[in-house]
Structure 1
Amino acid sequence: MKKTIYLIAIAVLTLTSCKKEVTEEEKALATQIETYDALMAEAMEVHDEIMPKMGELMELKGEITEKAEAGELSDQTAISSTAEELKASHNGMMTWMKDYSEKFPYGDPSPETKEAIDKKMPVLEQEVEEIKNLRDKTMKAIDNAKALLNK
């Protein structure tokens, strides 16, 4: 019985003495990776928010063109600027998606080293800022088009 307790004690001590302590650098890296992952998720959330609006942009542009040609809209400056806003928002989204997918290919894992995080984080932060600005421009373009069409 004493031998069994002695062997168990040695096994427990051996296992606990091999336990690796997490360093401050590892904790900081884990925090950076979490921040990176959260930004990736935020970029996709904003993308998913405005992507369904792309069809609406084109519908509104078509409706403005149709009503302008039928003479139902007469302010050529407003027609032109609103149609251009709608087109620019749509093109901006297509460009952002292409650019984003080149920089952050689908299925790429999160960076796992400080150097990789330091390299990719500023690029990701810029992409998130761009998609947020695009969301704001898209919503403004839709609002302006609806106002022009009295919707």
Structure 2
Amino acid sequence: MKKTLYLIAIALFTLIACKNDPTPEEVALQIQMESYDLLKSEAMKVHDEIMPKMGVLMELKGELVANENDNELSEIATAAENLKASHDAMMSWMQDYSEKFPYGEPTPETKEALDEKLPILEQEVKEIVQLKDRTMLAIENAQELLKK
């Protein structure tokens, strides 16, 4: 992602160099706007990777509960709880994200608005990436238990 930001920055500087000399503030604002758009794209890309897994989470949870036995009760209960927690976390993340960044909301066009929203967006991306990792681990653990 850093390479992408770097390439966009170079492209912006090149484009801007061909126009009337923009102020450093205009260049910085444009770079900030591009970063914002990239972060929103990254959040949706990760969301789109794990959203289809929500059905898998619930299916695996059902299978785990159906295959409970006394020897593995705590392992299965923990795995089922992790699957449910991942599902619930995804639902919460989506609600929170959509409240902070409503669908169709345009990119902020002022430095002040970007300074306010960029850190929030960076945190949302960090959270969805962590959620993806947690979800994939929960799925892997449940599948391993079901193989036993």
TM-score range, shorter chain: 0.7 to 0.9
User: SS of the residue aligned with 1:74?
Assistant: helix
TM-score with structure 1 setting the length: 0.83
Q: How far did 1:20 drift?
A: 4.9
Q: Deviations over 1:5-52 (max 9, x none)?
A: xxxxxxxxxxxxxx8531110001000000110000000000000000
- The farther-off stretch of 73-82 and 114-123 is 73-82
1:87 to 84, 87, 95: 84
TM-score with structure 2 setting the length: 0.84
Distance 2:79 2:139 in 1: 9
Specify the alignment match of 2:15 in structure 1: none
Q: Deviations over 1:83-102 (max 9, x none)?
A: 00000000000000000000
Q: How far did 1:77 drift?
A: 1.1
Distance 1:74 1:92 in 2: 29
Specify the alignment match of 2:100 in structure 1: 103
Q: Cα RMSD (Å) of the superposition?
A: 1.3
Gaps of at least 5 residues in structure 2 are 1-18
Name the amino acid aligned to 1:135: K
User: SS of the residue aligned with 2:67?
Assistant: helix
Give 1:138-149 correspondences, 5 Å limit: 138-149=135-146
Q: Does 1:122 align with 2:114?
A: no
Specify the alignment match of 2:14 in structure 1: none
Specify the alignment match of 1:10 in structure 2: none
Count of aligned pairs? 130
Name the amino acid aligned to 1:29: L
In our comparison, the structure showing a higher alpha carbon Rg is 1
Name the amino acid aligned to 1:35: S
User: SS of the residue aligned with 1:110?
Assistant: coil
Distance 1:99 1:146 in 2: 29
Q: Does 1:56 align with 2:56?
A: yes
Gaps of at least 5 residues in structure 1 are 1-18
Q: How far did 1:76 drift?
A: 1.1
C-alpha contact 2:65 2:77 (8 A) present in aligned 1: no
What fraction of aligned residue pairs are identical, expressed as a percent?
62
Specify the alignment match of 2:25 in structure 1: 25
Distance 2:21 2:133 in 1: 46
